[in-house]
């Protein structure tokens, strides 16, 4: 054979061999990565080839699927009362990655979860019937919170203290997830939502920690009682009024200048929300003890899944005494989500034990068989002693009965709460945040609920902004809905 032909043949064989190697590599090593690529159109075609499973609230589906009229995606996601439940469901979009429960349980809802496959499905490689997500959300509590917040920018969370079930998760302003489902129209809606300065896509209830203001005084009081700094909520404290922040000339004032805050007991200090008492108490305890108590309640936890990952609420470190004093009134760098402050009230309501919060009760296959029961998996952690919890519940009742939280009073319900008005912006240049956290227990049924509400912005004049004026009525509506017989 001619040497040139022989060399050409060898070269050609090497090229074929290299091609085979590359094909094998792509098929067996890169195939899954290519299949999982979000830009792979086949994934969307497969996902929307059949109707999706549903998210269930109160025994009814709040999601659905509809046949599309054009394109290669046969079905699209639909929502019932989309704006009401957006903070729960998130969205499933033909154009964008799914969020919230839609994202967490995407495989279950589109039928690709391996737990859904029957033996026949495995043999035929047929996609299984999709499963469903059964939430813990109470539709009446959810609607009460949404309606009460109305046009205000804010958020609210309700928990069952005894089970950890999340009964409501509301964030306003909301959005309609249906506007993001269709690939033909999602882009326009996406741009509009992201251009909105009120950030309707942000889940304020779980993922926007803000200064909690005086609601954090419950954590400080818990630390003082647990540490033995004070033995009772009715023991007088050593608290000068006015109080000068340590190492400074800054005088910390009380909102109510005529309130009996000098050397006030913890009960009276919560009743009138005395800044001097809790700022001094924070310094007496020290930042390490305060942080330890805050972390027992859930602060600084960056793995809080409900199952949506909640942003961590923060108690800071590395402070001087003046900054530590400010943390005692929920300022400086202290931040909290409504979920976190609802957890504080829930733990106190439940005798000092916190049951892990969760908003999915069960997931099921297409036939209704339970694949996982999250109610059974809920864990309980002791945060404070039963004595401390009882004393703080008593003091919180005083706040509602004759203190700063009277707008939360409900006939036939034992209610305890704490108001908060947190500074916002440099030198408090913006409208303050209005907070309220509380627990309620039906006098007739014994049923319990814990809630937290924050109003970031409303039409109220700055002088009218208060936890009692803006947030407490929302909490009251939620508690009434949760505890109705």
Please give the Cα distance from 17 to 22 (Å, whole number).
9
Please give the Cα distance from 306 to 368 (Å, whole number).
22
Specify whether 178 is catalytic. no
* Sole residue written with tokens 């942080």: 291
SS3 362: strand
CB 237 within 8 A of CB 267: no
Beta strands (DSSP E) in 88-165 are 132-135, 153-159
Of residues 65, 178, 214, 273, which has the active-site annotation? 214
- DSSP annotation of 414: E
- Alpha-carbon Rg for the chain, nearest whole angstrom, is 27
Beta-carbon contacts of 223 under 8 Å, excluding residues fewer than 6 positions away, are 229, 285, 289, 290, 292, 293
DSSP sequence for 104-159: HTHHHHHT--GGG--HHHHHHTPPPPP-EEEE---HHHHHHHHHHHTTSEEEEEEE
Please give the Cα distance from 304 to 203 (Å, whole number).
15
Please give the Cα distance from 442 to 447 (Å, whole number).
5
* Sole residue written with tokens 């509602």: 400
- The encoded tokens of residue 415 equal 């209610």
* Sole residue written with tokens 């813990």: 136
Residues annotated as part of the active site? 214
């Amino acid at each position: 054979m001619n040497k040139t032909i022989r060399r050409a043949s060898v070269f050609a064989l090497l090229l074929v061999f290299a091609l085979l190697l590359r094909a094998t590599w792509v098929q067996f090593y890169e195939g899954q990565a290519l299949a999982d690529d979000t830009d792979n159109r086949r994934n969307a075609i497969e996902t929307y080839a059949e109707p999706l499973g549903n998210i269930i609230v109160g025994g009814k589906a709040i999601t659905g699927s509809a046949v599309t009229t054009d394109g290669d995606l046969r079905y699209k996601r639909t929502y019932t009362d989309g704006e009401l439940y957006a903070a729960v469901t998130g969205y499933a979009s033909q154009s964008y990655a799914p969020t919230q429960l839609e994202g967490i349980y995407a495989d279950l809802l589109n039928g690709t979860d391996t737990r859904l496959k029957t033996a026949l499905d495995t043999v035929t490689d047929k996609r299984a019937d999709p499963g469903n997500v059964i939430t813990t959300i109470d539709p009446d509590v959810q609607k009460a919170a949404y309606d009460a917040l109305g046009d205000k920018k804010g958020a609210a969370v309700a928990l069952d203290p005894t089970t950890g079930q999340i009964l409501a998760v509301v964030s306003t302003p909301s959005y309609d997830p249906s506007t993001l489902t269709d690939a033909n129209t999602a882009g326009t809606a996406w741009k509009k939502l992201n251009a909105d300065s009120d950030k309707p896509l942000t889940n304020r209830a779980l993922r926007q920690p803000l200064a909690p203001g005086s609601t954090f005084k419950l954590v400080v009081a818990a630390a003082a009682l647990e540490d033995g700094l004070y033995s009772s909520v009715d023991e007088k404290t050593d608290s000068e009024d006015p109080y000068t922040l340590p190492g400074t000339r800054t005088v910390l004032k009380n909102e109510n200048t005529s309130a009996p805050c000098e050397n006030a007991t913890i009960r009276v200090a919560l009743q009138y929300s005395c800044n001097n008492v809790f700022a001094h108490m924070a310094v007496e305890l020290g930042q390490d003890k305060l942080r330890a108590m805050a972390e027992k309640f859930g602060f600084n936890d960056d793995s809080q899944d409900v199952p949506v990952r909640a942003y961590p609420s923060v108690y800071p470190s590395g402070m001087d005494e003046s900054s530590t004093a400010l943390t005692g009134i929920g300022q400086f760098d202290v931040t909290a989500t409504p979920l976190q402050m609802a957890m504080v009230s829930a733990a106190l309501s439940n005798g000092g034990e916190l049951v892990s919060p969760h908003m999915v009760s069960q997931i099921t296959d297409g036939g209704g068989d339970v694949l996982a029961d999250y109610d059974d998996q809920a864990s309980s952690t002791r945060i404070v002693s039963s004595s401390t919890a009882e004393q703080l519940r008593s003091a919180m009742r005083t706040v509602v009965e004759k203190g700063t939280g009277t707008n939360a009073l409900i006939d036939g319900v034992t209610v305890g709460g704490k108001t908060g008005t947190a500074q916002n912006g440099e030198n408090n240049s913006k409208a303050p945040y209005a907070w309220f956290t509380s627990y309620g227990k039906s006098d007739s049924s014994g049923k319990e609920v814990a809630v937290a509400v924050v109003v970031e912005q409303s039409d109220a004049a700055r002088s009218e902004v208060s936890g009692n004026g803006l947030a407490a009525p929302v909490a009251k509506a939620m508690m009434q809905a949760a505890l109705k017989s």
